[in-house]
Amino acid sequence: MRISVIVTTYNRPDALRRVLEGLAQQHVAPDEVIVADDGSGPETRRLVETQSHRVDYRLDYVWQPDQGFRLAAIRNAAIGRAQGDYIVCLDGDCLPGRYFIADHRHLAEPGCFFQGGRVLVSERRSPDFSYRRSRSFSGLMKDLIRGDLGNAHHLLRLPLWPARRSRRLSGIRSCNMGFWRSDLYAVNGFNEDFVGWGREDSELAVRLFRYGLRCKRHPFMAVCFHLWHAENVRDRLAANDALLGGALEKPEHFCANGIEKRKPFDASQPEDD
Protein backbone atom coordinates (compact mmCIF):
# COMPACT_ATOMS: atom_id res chain seq x y z
CA MET A 1 0.00 0.00 0.00
CA ARG A 2 1.43 3.34 -1.09
CA ILE A 3 0.54 6.37 1.03
CA SER A 4 0.23 9.86 -0.42
CA VAL A 5 0.04 12.78 2.01
CA ILE A 6 -1.69 15.93 0.74
CA VAL A 7 -0.68 19.01 2.73
CA THR A 8 -2.85 22.07 2.13
CA THR A 9 -1.39 25.52 2.67
CA TYR A 10 -1.94 29.22 2.12
CA ASN A 11 0.75 31.81 2.88
CA ARG A 12 2.12 30.15 6.02
CA PRO A 13 5.57 28.99 4.89
CA ASP A 14 7.01 28.87 8.41
CA ALA A 15 4.27 26.51 9.59
CA LEU A 16 4.51 24.48 6.39
CA ARG A 17 8.26 24.09 6.85
CA ARG A 18 7.70 22.54 10.27
CA VAL A 19 5.02 20.21 8.91
CA LEU A 20 7.31 19.02 6.11
CA GLU A 21 10.15 18.52 8.58
CA GLY A 22 7.84 16.41 10.73
CA LEU A 23 6.89 14.27 7.73
CA ALA A 24 10.56 13.83 6.86
CA GLN A 25 11.26 12.48 10.37
CA GLN A 26 8.55 9.82 10.52
CA HIS A 27 9.03 6.36 12.01
CA VAL A 28 7.67 5.08 8.67
CA ALA A 29 8.14 7.45 5.74
CA PRO A 30 5.31 8.38 3.39
CA ASP A 31 5.61 7.27 -0.23
CA GLU A 32 4.97 10.80 -1.45
CA VAL A 33 3.93 14.22 -0.17
CA ILE A 34 2.00 16.70 -2.30
CA VAL A 35 1.77 20.31 -1.16
CA ALA A 36 -1.59 21.70 -2.28
CA ASP A 37 -1.27 25.48 -2.37
CA ASP A 38 -4.44 27.61 -2.47
CA GLY A 39 -2.75 30.66 -3.99
CA SER A 40 0.30 31.48 -1.84
CA GLY A 41 3.11 33.76 -2.97
CA PRO A 42 6.40 32.45 -4.40
CA GLU A 43 8.02 31.85 -1.00
CA THR A 44 5.97 28.69 -0.53
CA ARG A 45 7.07 27.21 -3.87
CA ARG A 46 10.70 27.97 -3.06
CA LEU A 47 10.32 26.25 0.31
CA VAL A 48 8.93 23.08 -1.30
CA GLU A 49 11.70 23.06 -3.91
CA THR A 50 14.32 23.32 -1.16
CA GLN A 51 12.73 20.60 0.95
CA SER A 52 12.39 18.26 -2.05
CA HIS A 53 16.19 17.86 -2.13
CA ARG A 54 16.25 16.73 1.50
CA VAL A 55 13.90 13.73 1.34
CA ASP A 56 14.03 10.33 -0.32
CA TYR A 57 10.37 10.27 -1.33
CA ARG A 58 8.55 12.27 -4.00
CA LEU A 59 7.70 15.80 -2.82
CA ASP A 60 5.34 17.40 -5.33
CA TYR A 61 3.68 20.81 -5.51
CA VAL A 62 0.39 21.94 -7.03
CA TRP A 63 -0.79 25.56 -7.02
CA GLN A 64 -3.93 27.43 -8.00
CA PRO A 65 -4.45 31.22 -8.28
CA ASP A 66 -5.61 33.07 -5.20
CA GLN A 67 -9.33 33.53 -5.83
CA GLY A 68 -10.46 33.19 -2.23
CA PHE A 69 -10.70 30.11 -0.03
CA ARG A 70 -11.02 27.14 -2.44
CA LEU A 71 -9.87 24.20 -0.37
CA ALA A 72 -12.05 21.63 -2.14
CA ALA A 73 -10.63 22.56 -5.55
CA ILE A 74 -6.95 22.47 -4.56
CA ARG A 75 -7.40 19.17 -2.72
CA ASN A 76 -8.98 17.64 -5.82
CA ALA A 77 -6.09 18.93 -7.92
CA ALA A 78 -3.63 17.24 -5.56
CA ILE A 79 -5.62 14.00 -5.40
CA GLY A 80 -5.50 13.92 -9.20
CA ARG A 81 -1.69 13.95 -9.03
CA ALA A 82 -1.43 11.41 -6.21
CA GLN A 83 0.21 8.09 -7.02
CA GLY A 84 -0.70 6.34 -3.78
CA ASP A 85 -3.46 3.87 -3.02
CA TYR A 86 -4.29 5.69 0.21
CA ILE A 87 -4.62 9.45 0.64
CA VAL A 88 -3.93 11.24 3.92
CA CYS A 89 -5.14 14.85 4.13
CA LEU A 90 -3.13 17.04 6.49
CA ASP A 91 -3.34 20.80 6.95
CA GLY A 92 -0.20 22.88 6.53
CA ASP A 93 -0.35 24.01 10.15
CA CYS A 94 -0.74 20.51 11.63
CA LEU A 95 2.54 18.92 12.72
CA PRO A 96 2.41 15.12 12.45
CA GLY A 97 3.35 13.03 15.45
CA ARG A 98 6.28 10.61 15.19
CA TYR A 99 4.06 7.63 14.27
CA PHE A 100 1.57 9.56 12.15
CA ILE A 101 2.21 7.70 8.88
CA ALA A 102 2.75 4.33 10.55
CA ASP A 103 -0.56 4.72 12.37
CA HIS A 104 -2.49 5.75 9.26
CA ARG A 105 -1.04 2.73 7.46
CA HIS A 106 -2.02 0.44 10.32
CA LEU A 107 -5.54 1.87 10.63
CA ALA A 108 -6.39 1.90 6.90
CA GLU A 109 -9.27 -0.52 6.38
CA PRO A 110 -11.46 -1.37 3.37
CA GLY A 111 -14.97 -0.02 3.79
CA CYS A 112 -13.80 2.85 6.03
CA PHE A 113 -12.24 6.27 5.94
CA PHE A 114 -10.28 7.42 8.97
CA GLN A 115 -10.74 10.53 11.12
CA GLY A 116 -7.60 11.43 13.07
CA GLY A 117 -7.28 13.52 16.21
CA ARG A 118 -5.46 16.75 16.90
CA VAL A 119 -3.78 18.35 19.89
CA LEU A 120 -4.39 22.11 19.93
CA VAL A 121 -1.31 24.28 20.46
CA SER A 122 -1.92 27.69 22.02
CA GLU A 123 -1.26 31.06 20.41
CA ARG A 124 1.57 31.67 22.88
CA ARG A 125 3.28 28.34 22.16
CA SER A 126 2.69 28.01 18.40
CA PRO A 127 5.41 30.32 16.99
CA ASP A 128 8.26 28.00 17.99
CA PHE A 129 6.49 24.66 18.45
CA SER A 130 8.30 22.10 16.28
CA TYR A 131 8.26 18.38 15.58
CA ARG A 132 11.14 18.05 18.05
CA ARG A 133 8.97 19.53 20.79
CA SER A 134 6.16 17.14 19.89
CA ARG A 135 8.51 14.25 20.70
CA SER A 136 9.76 15.59 24.01
CA PHE A 137 7.78 14.07 26.88
CA SER A 138 9.11 16.56 29.42
CA GLY A 139 8.52 19.47 27.05
CA LEU A 140 4.95 18.43 26.36
CA MET A 141 4.26 18.03 30.06
CA LYS A 142 5.54 21.56 30.66
CA ASP A 143 3.32 22.88 27.88
CA LEU A 144 0.36 20.97 29.31
CA ILE A 145 0.90 22.35 32.82
CA ARG A 146 1.14 25.88 31.42
CA GLY A 147 -2.17 25.45 29.64
CA ASP A 148 -0.67 25.55 26.16
CA LEU A 149 -2.15 22.27 24.88
CA GLY A 150 -5.80 21.42 24.28
CA ASN A 151 -7.32 18.01 23.54
CA ALA A 152 -4.44 16.66 25.61
CA HIS A 153 -5.88 13.14 25.88
CA HIS A 154 -4.54 12.59 22.35
CA LEU A 155 -1.02 12.79 23.78
CA LEU A 156 -1.42 9.25 25.05
CA ARG A 157 -0.28 6.53 22.66
CA LEU A 158 -2.34 3.39 23.18
CA PRO A 159 -2.16 1.22 20.03
CA LEU A 160 -4.12 -1.61 21.69
CA TRP A 161 -7.08 0.68 22.33
CA PRO A 162 -9.89 -0.48 20.03
CA ALA A 163 -10.84 1.70 17.08
CA ARG A 164 -14.50 2.60 16.60
CA ARG A 165 -16.46 2.62 13.36
CA SER A 166 -19.63 4.62 12.89
CA ARG A 167 -21.58 6.89 10.58
CA ARG A 168 -21.42 9.77 13.04
CA LEU A 169 -20.90 13.13 11.32
CA SER A 170 -19.85 15.17 14.34
CA GLY A 171 -16.15 15.80 14.74
CA ILE A 172 -15.31 15.47 11.04
CA ARG A 173 -12.24 17.59 10.27
CA SER A 174 -10.20 17.16 7.12
CA CYS A 175 -7.06 18.57 8.76
CA ASN A 176 -6.26 14.90 9.54
CA MET A 177 -8.17 12.29 7.53
CA GLY A 178 -7.32 9.17 5.53
CA PHE A 179 -9.13 7.72 2.50
CA TRP A 180 -8.66 5.01 -0.08
CA ARG A 181 -8.09 6.83 -3.36
CA SER A 182 -10.61 4.56 -5.10
CA ASP A 183 -13.31 5.63 -2.62
CA LEU A 184 -12.62 9.31 -3.27
CA TYR A 185 -13.02 8.79 -7.00
CA ALA A 186 -16.17 6.74 -6.44
CA VAL A 187 -17.88 9.77 -4.84
CA ASN A 188 -16.17 12.30 -7.16
CA GLY A 189 -13.88 13.72 -4.49
CA PHE A 190 -14.49 17.03 -2.75
CA ASN A 191 -17.40 19.13 -3.96
CA GLU A 192 -15.94 22.24 -5.61
CA ASP A 193 -19.20 24.13 -5.16
CA PHE A 194 -17.80 24.82 -1.68
CA VAL A 195 -16.05 28.19 -1.72
CA GLY A 196 -15.04 29.91 1.50
CA TRP A 197 -14.39 28.30 4.85
CA GLY A 198 -16.42 25.42 6.15
CA ARG A 199 -18.34 22.19 5.67
CA GLU A 200 -16.64 20.77 2.56
CA ASP A 201 -15.21 17.95 4.70
CA SER A 202 -18.56 17.18 6.35
CA GLU A 203 -20.30 17.09 2.97
CA LEU A 204 -17.69 14.66 1.67
CA ALA A 205 -18.25 12.46 4.71
CA VAL A 206 -22.02 12.44 4.06
CA ARG A 207 -21.44 11.18 0.53
CA LEU A 208 -18.93 8.57 1.72
CA PHE A 209 -21.58 7.33 4.15
CA ARG A 210 -24.09 7.20 1.27
CA TYR A 211 -21.54 5.16 -0.66
CA GLY A 212 -21.55 2.63 2.18
CA LEU A 213 -18.43 3.54 4.15
CA ARG A 214 -18.04 4.04 7.87
CA CYS A 215 -15.83 6.51 9.69
CA LYS A 216 -13.08 4.88 11.71
CA ARG A 217 -11.64 6.72 14.71
CA HIS A 218 -8.89 6.06 17.22
CA PRO A 219 -8.23 8.67 19.92
CA PHE A 220 -4.64 7.61 20.61
CA MET A 221 -3.11 7.01 17.16
CA ALA A 222 -2.37 9.09 14.03
CA VAL A 223 -2.36 12.35 16.00
CA CYS A 224 -1.23 15.78 14.80
CA PHE A 225 -0.46 19.04 16.61
CA HIS A 226 -2.57 21.92 15.30
CA LEU A 227 -0.79 25.26 15.50
CA TRP A 228 -2.90 28.25 16.49
CA HIS A 229 -4.12 30.64 13.80
CA ALA A 230 -6.63 33.45 13.67
CA GLU A 231 -10.15 32.34 12.81
CA ASN A 232 -10.84 32.13 9.09
CA VAL A 233 -13.35 34.51 7.52
CA ARG A 234 -16.72 32.76 7.55
CA ASP A 235 -18.73 34.92 5.18
CA ARG A 236 -19.66 31.89 3.05
CA LEU A 237 -20.65 29.66 5.93
CA ALA A 238 -24.41 30.06 5.44
CA ALA A 239 -24.15 29.07 1.77
CA ASN A 240 -21.92 26.13 2.65
CA ASP A 241 -24.34 25.04 5.38
CA ALA A 242 -27.05 25.00 2.71
CA LEU A 243 -24.90 22.78 0.48
CA LEU A 244 -24.32 20.41 3.38
CA GLY A 245 -28.04 20.38 4.12
CA GLY A 246 -28.75 19.45 0.52
CA ALA A 247 -26.35 16.53 0.69
CA LEU A 248 -28.03 15.29 3.87
CA GLU A 249 -31.40 15.28 2.11
CA LYS A 250 -30.24 13.42 -1.01
CA PRO A 251 -29.52 9.70 -1.38
CA GLU A 252 -26.80 10.24 -4.01
CA HIS A 253 -23.14 9.80 -3.17
CA PHE A 254 -21.74 11.38 -6.36
CA CYS A 255 -21.39 15.17 -6.55
CA ALA A 256 -21.61 16.97 -9.88
CA ASN A 257 -18.68 19.38 -9.46
CA GLY A 258 -15.86 17.19 -8.25
CA ILE A 259 -12.70 15.43 -9.26
CA GLU A 260 -14.09 13.66 -12.32
CA LYS A 261 -12.81 16.38 -14.64
CA ARG A 262 -9.26 15.80 -13.44
CA LYS A 263 -7.31 12.92 -14.94
CA PRO A 264 -6.13 10.53 -12.21
CA PHE A 265 -2.52 9.42 -12.08
CA ASP A 266 -1.83 6.36 -14.26
CA ALA A 267 1.30 4.41 -13.36
CA SER A 268 1.41 2.92 -16.87
CA GLN A 269 1.87 6.35 -18.44
CA PRO A 270 4.91 8.66 -18.19
CA GLU A 271 4.50 11.65 -15.90
CA ASP A 272 4.05 15.11 -17.34
CA ASP A 273 7.01 17.44 -17.05
Sheet strands side by side (includes 58-63) = 58-63, 32-37, 3-9, 86-91, 176-180, 112-115, 214-217, 164-166
Predicted confidence at residue 272, as pLDDT, reads 45
Spell out the per-residue pLDDT of the chain, length 273, in tens: 999 999 999 999 999 999 999 999 999 999 999 999 999 999 999 999 999 999 999 999 999 999 999 999 999 999 999 999 999 999 999 999 999 999 999 999 999 999 999 999 999 999 999 999 999 999 999 999 999 999 999 999 999 999 999 999 999 999 999 999 999 999 999 999 999 999 999 999 999 999 999 999 999 999 999 999 988 888 889 999 999 999 999 999 999 999 987 766 554 444 443
CATH class of 3-261: alpha beta
Predicted confidence at residue 261, as pLDDT, reads 78
Q: Where are the domains of the chain?
A: 3-261
Predicted confidence at residue 264, as pLDDT, reads 64
Report the predicted TM-score, pTM, of the whole model to 2 decimal places. 0.94
d(CA 112, CA 138): 35
Predicted confidence at residue 270, as pLDDT, reads 42
Q: How far apart, in Å, are the Cα atoms of 61 and each of 7, 24, 250, 264, 271? A: 9, 16, 35, 16, 14
